[in-house]
Chain A
Amino acid sequence: MRPVLIALVCGLVFALGLGLSGMVNPARVLGFLDLTGDWEPNLMFVLGGAVGVYALGARHVLAWPRPWDGLTFQLPSRRSLDHRLLLGAAMFGAGWGLSGLCPGPALVDLAGGGADIWLFVAAMLGGMALFSAFNRVMPAR
């Protein structure tokens, strides 16, 4: 039960942070991404605050022998750059720039009930399913 409760609370607080920061509003995100328009610096503050807290905290936490409720820290093990990473990031950047929506805010925005948001999330889950199919045919080396 504990892992479920932890995940629920962390997801909830994460969503509230997205709300407070303005990330749930795609228009604000596009305002940040529009460098040559009426640029909004908001996202710099969101990312700065989030990365700052995480970086300070993670240094201490990762020195622990194990997480509070778990046997090991489950961190990505790959270190080197590869085509998948860069191509995937480029595809994500293009998709993000087209709508101003990335996965976290899009899922939070489902609660608003807008048909556009639900359509985006359906397409996003479809994209993830397409990737799973692709990855079965061409698994990462």
Chain B
Amino acid sequence: MQLLPLLAALAGGLLIGAAALGLLALSGRVAGVSGIVGGLIPPRRGDIDWRLAYLAGLLLGGVLLHLAYGLPTSIPGSRITLIVSGLLVGFGTRLGNGCTSGHGVCGLGRGSPRSFAAVLTFMAVAFITVFVSRHILGGAP
């Protein structure tokens, strides 16, 4: 365990929290990525611009990060696993009204009981999924 990555993780977390707080203070909105993007599928009149702008901000940030450090480009495991993973993440976050940002950062930060339950659930299932895929099936590296 090295100190520098942990400090970077903490600093990154502070930045994530500040950005989410900024959206709440300035626009009064919850910075949940799955909700912001999911609200575009299908798009609703008068509720499109800010969502696209937030998405553009994420992508622009990605471009800057890629130029500065390089972003990961491949995911271990099969394509089928990746597709199933994406489908579950997309459907699940919409059904459960949030993901790591909406429930994890904003929901926990507001002390929402629903978000506490959601975070406990998705963390527990993610731990189990990784345990099964890595240590029982031995599929993922």
Contact = CB atoms under 8 A, between A and B. Distances in A.
Interface residues of B, number: 109
For the residues of A in contact with B, the DSSP-based class is helix
B79 to A, nearest CB: 7
Interface in A1-48: 3-27, 30, 33-37, 40-43, 45-48
Contact of B121 (A5, A13, A62, A89): A89
B86 A95 contact: yes
B14 A12 contact: no
Contacts of A51: 17, 104-105, 108-109
Contact of B6 (A4, A7, A42, A100): A42
A37 B134 contact: yes
A97 B129 contact: yes
A54 B105 contact: yes
A33 B126 contact: yes
Interface of A: 3-27, 30, 33-37, 40-43, 45-55, 57-58, 61-62, 64, 66-76, 78-81, 84-104, 106-117, 119-132, 134-135
Interface of B: 1, 5-6, 8-31, 33-34, 37-38, 41-42, 49-51, 53-66, 69-77, 79, 81-97, 99-101, 103-106, 108-114, 117-119, 121-131, 133-135, 140
